[in-house]
Chain A
Amino acid sequence: MTSLIDAPPSDADALLPTKKKAAGGGLAQYILVRFLLIFPTILILVTLVFFLMRITGDPITAAMGGRLPPEQLQERIHTAGYDRPLLLQYFEYLGQLVTGNFGTTLSDNRKVTEMLTTYGSATLELAINAIIVALVVGIPLGMIAAHRRDHLPDAVLRILAILFYATPVFFAGMLLKLVFSVWLGWLPVAGRAGTRTELSLTALEAPTGIYWLDALRSGNMAALSDVMSHAVLPALALGLLTAGVFLRLVRTNVIGTLGKDYIEAGRSRGVSEYRLVTKHAYKPALIPIITVMGLQIAVLLGGAVLTETTFEWKGLGFQLANYLTARDFVAVQGIVVLLAVIVAVTNFIVDIIAALIDPRVRY
């Protein structure tokens, strides 16, 4: 909604004719405008990150300073081109980004794009698992809280939701690890899979990098259960944080729709309370939930950085923490840019879904 109001003047002009036309023509135009808006968002973030990181100095001094003699340092800075004017470097960097060249990491000398694809799939897997946990836990509990509003279940659930929010993911992860891995010994302490499973999964042809998908495809049940047992705790730690947000959101919105006249009408026709909550009141409450889900992706990615560090889950966040410690700012910049793209694209998709569900959003 806000992005519509805040859009640059060209978009306002572009949207104007849609008001006069029938809704069918408006949707295509809306999607196009929203799609074009992705690029300025990414550009701004890339620009900000580039200049902010360069204020501190060049990446080579940051990574190698103190370990190399000054002459060698100067030479390396010169060959990498970091002693040229900043604006020139900026435009060169933009040009490289457009062609998909993110540069080479300084600490372990890998192509940034290769690093991103290797670890990106791990983060994607974690994010998917966490969202599943969040949806499965958050939405039904939110409906229960709304239905039993101001009664005991509501009170317990609301406090639970705030507690989920108040617990940092890494602390939640640490507690889960302590109880289920160390004390009870039910689940593995860290990592994405056992060494043998990991080897067998990477040996597959055209692996997706999402372990449970690969295990499922290869039909290797032992590998699947191994992957699953590793995935439970990280998914819970990250998912419960988001579940708290969903719970509150579903509760507030379902309470809002439960007060509407058509619910009363349904009740007088004899529609069951269960059906009223799960069908009649829940569906209209979905729209704000989808919008917020878009914003939650950003929170989820931030949480993934912390969760991955807690569980040594070798994804982008884990690598980000490593590269930060190594002061490898080329790699950090690459990860940040990728996350910026993901956030911008998700927001685009969410806006489109919201527009498809509710035609009013477009105007």
Chain B
Amino acid sequence: MTAETTLEPVANPRASFFRRLPVVSHFNKSVGLQRFMLVVGLVLTGIFLLTALAAPLLAPYGFAQLSDADGNFPTQQAPGGKHLLGTTVGGYDVLSRVIWGTQTALLVIIVAVILSIFAGVILGLVSGYIGGWLDRILVVVADAIYAFPSLLVAIVMAIVISGGQSSLLGGILAAAISITVVFIPQYFRVIRAETIRLKAEPFVESAKVVGASNIRIMTRHIYRNATRTLPLIFTLNASESILTLAGLGFLGFGIEPSSAAEWGFDLNKALADTTSGIWWTGLFPGLAIVWTVLGLTLVGESINDLNDPRLRGRKRISRKAPAASAGPGTETELSNP
């Protein structure tokens, strides 16, 4: 509980700034399968991000486009020809909606994670630092929300915010806020626990003695130290927010098809098609969800494993060590990781 837990040697302090960046330092620490998983995750996530940014260039049609110069799009057309991935029952182009969907997903992730970090960190800091009855109430409420099925919390919030469906901005905000409410307890718990631990540290005491205000201690001294674990929760939550958004959309609490493309909503509409053997309307939006969640989860999991010494893969030196020729090489490698 003392200095050794706060001063975890995450990266070599002498290494360059670039090598100490979260993902880069993890990459350098990883070996074998772990490095492979991290790289696959980064590639999947990278492609997702690029698609979202370049959606206007990549998508052959608009997400709500139903016709072009040659007339109306056919409905439920099989993949091929003008529509590479076919068209939906409503006559939308599947490929275009999958591509535009990346933008919706990215926007929701960004808004949801930023909002929940803000709210969760502030509540956690205040609750942990001030303590007393405020702390107790917040903890009980956060625990109750945390224990509850997150999808249901999101549904209740979606009803409150928009009463169901809405425009692009309203829909994205509604989805993001619903997801935020689910996530706040997680950030709150982590930050609060860290704050309580840090509050007893000598450097906080000395700051008090010097006469620093409570606000200053919270924002300067504790905040900096308490937020170390956030990148990990961030990646895991980003993938969970995609799943929650898709779940909301699947239950009909999504964004209307005319205001934005949303994968969960498209899957809901595709459900009836499945029974008649029409696979392309559901398969591609579903694969897009799996792709994105897989990428983000692989990155998050790898970072998690690399932070945990029990799970971190070990560099294989034991087999080479007995051989005299390999000895010096492995030793230098070890001393300068």
Please report A residues at the B interface, Cβ cutoff 8 Å.
2-3, 6, 8-9, 40-41, 44-45, 48-49, 52-53, 55-56, 62, 150, 154-155, 158-159, 162-163, 165-168, 170-171, 174-175, 177-178, 181-183, 189-190, 252, 255-256, 259, 295, 298-299, 301-303, 305-306, 309-310, 320-321, 324-325, 327, 329, 332, 336, 339-340, 343-344, 347
CB–CB A343/B147 < 8 A: yes
Q: Given A163, A174, A303, A309, which contacts B274 in the complex, CB threshold below 8 Å?
A: A174
Q: Given A6, A181, A302, which contacts B152 in the complex, CB threshold below 8 Å?
A: A302
B270 to A, closest residue via Cβ: A174
Cα distance A44–B185 when bound, in Å? 14
B58 CB → nearest A CB, Å:
23
Contacts of B148 in A (CB 8 A): 45, 298, 339-340, 343
A162 to B, closest residue via Cβ: B297
Query: Is B48 part of the contact surface with A, judged by Cβ < 8 Å?
Result: no
B71-79, B82-90, B106-114, B137-145 - the one binding chain A: B137-145
Task: Write 25 A-B pairs (CB below 8 A) sorted by A numbering.
Answer: A6-B143, A40-B140, A40-B144, A48-B156, A52-B160, A53-B159, A150-B313, A159-B37, A162-B297, A166-B293, A168-B250, A170-B246, A171-B290, A174-B286, A175-B286, A178-B279, A181-B275, A183-B277, A255-B310, A299-B150, A305-B152, A324-B159, A325-B252, A339-B152, A340-B148
Looking at chain B's contact residues, the main secondary structure is helix
Contacts of B270 in A (CB 8 A): 174
A263 CB → nearest B CB, Å:
14
Looking at chain A's contact residues, the main secondary structure is helix
A348 CB → nearest B CB, Å:
11
A349 CB → nearest B CB, Å:
13
* B: contact size bracket: 35 or more
Given A2-B189, A166-B239, A339-B152; A44-B290 close (CB under 8 Å):
no
CB–CB B159/A298 < 8 A: no
Cα distance A165–B250 when bound, in Å? 17
CB–CB A298/B252 < 8 A: no
CB–CB B157/A52 < 8 A: yes
B221 CB → nearest A CB, Å:
23
Contacts of B141 in A (CB 8 A): 44, 48
B271 CB → nearest A CB, Å:
7
Which B230-264 residues have C-beta < 8 A from chain A?
239, 243, 246-247, 250-253, 264
Nearest 7 Cβ contacts at the A-B interface = A302-B149, A171-B286, A302-B151, A166-B293, A166-B294, A44-B144, A6-B139
CB–CB A256/B286 < 8 A: no
Cα distance A21–B290 when bound, in Å? 53
CB–CB B286/A168 < 8 A: yes
Interface centre among B274, B282, B286 (most CB of A within 10 A): B274
A346 to B, closest residue via Cβ: B147
Contacts of B157 in A (CB 8 A): 52
CB–CB B147/A163 < 8 A: no
Contacts of A55 in B (CB 8 A): 160
Cα distance A150–B156 when bound, in Å? 43
CB–CB A298/B140 < 8 A: no
CB–CB A178/B156 < 8 A: no
Contacts of B252 in A (CB 8 A): 321, 324-325
